[in-house]
Amino acid sequence: MLNKKEQRLRRARQTRERIAKQGVARLTVFRSNLHIYASVISECGTKVVASASTAEKALREQLGGNGGNAAAAALVGKRVAEAAKAAGVDKVAFDRAGFAYHGRIKALAEAAREAGLQF
């Protein structure tokens, strides 16, 4: 019997196998109760091209310490998209890491799309 974390990691592994076959950079997210983290990883999967999170000092000050809501996730999505575009990455595959496409994950993805990332 798999526990909740093992189930999520199993879903994540399946998604990453499909993304690897596409040969594009991936926008991967991780959420904890307090923070949300996003990284754009290169096509080969070895280099982090851009990243953003609510744990960064500038964002923490802007949010007043609450990084566990959809508004914070939208800010992270916008920042990671801007950083990726500055690094020359326009197209990514969205890797939700086994999390449901809902709430904070959805807010981050939509903000990244509005900021110009294609996926």
Q: What pLDDT was estimated at residue 65?
A: 76
Q: How far apart are the first and last CA of the chain?
A: 34
State the pTM of this model. Answer: 0.91
Provide the 3-class DSSP secondary structure of residue 29.
strand
Using a CB cutoff of 8 Å and minimum separation of 24, what contacts does 66-72 make?
67/34, 67/35, 67/36, 68/32, 68/33, 68/34, 68/35, 68/36, 68/104, 69/104, 70/103, 70/104, 70/106, 70/107, 71/107, 72/36, 72/104
The answer to whether the beta carbons of residues 116 and 77 sit under 8 Å apart is no
Residue 58 lies in a domain: yes
Residue 119 lies in a domain: no
pLDDT by 10s per residue, the chain, length 119: 889 999 999 999 999 999 999 999 999 999 999 999 999 999 988 899 999 999 999 999 998 878 889 999 999 999 999 999 999 999 999 999 999 999 999 999 999 999 999 98
Residue 93 lies in a domain: yes
Q: What pLDDT was estimated at residue 2?
A: 87
Q: What pLDDT was estimated at residue 77?
A: 97
Can you tell me the distance from the alpha carbon of 81 to that of 89, in angstroms, rounded to the nearest whole number?
9
Domain of residue 74, CATH code: 3.30.420.100
Residue 66 lies in a domain: yes
Q: How many helices (H) and strands (E) does the chain have?
A: 4, 4
Structural domains of the chain, count: 1
Q: What pLDDT was estimated at residue 45?
A: 83
Domain extent for 64: 4-114
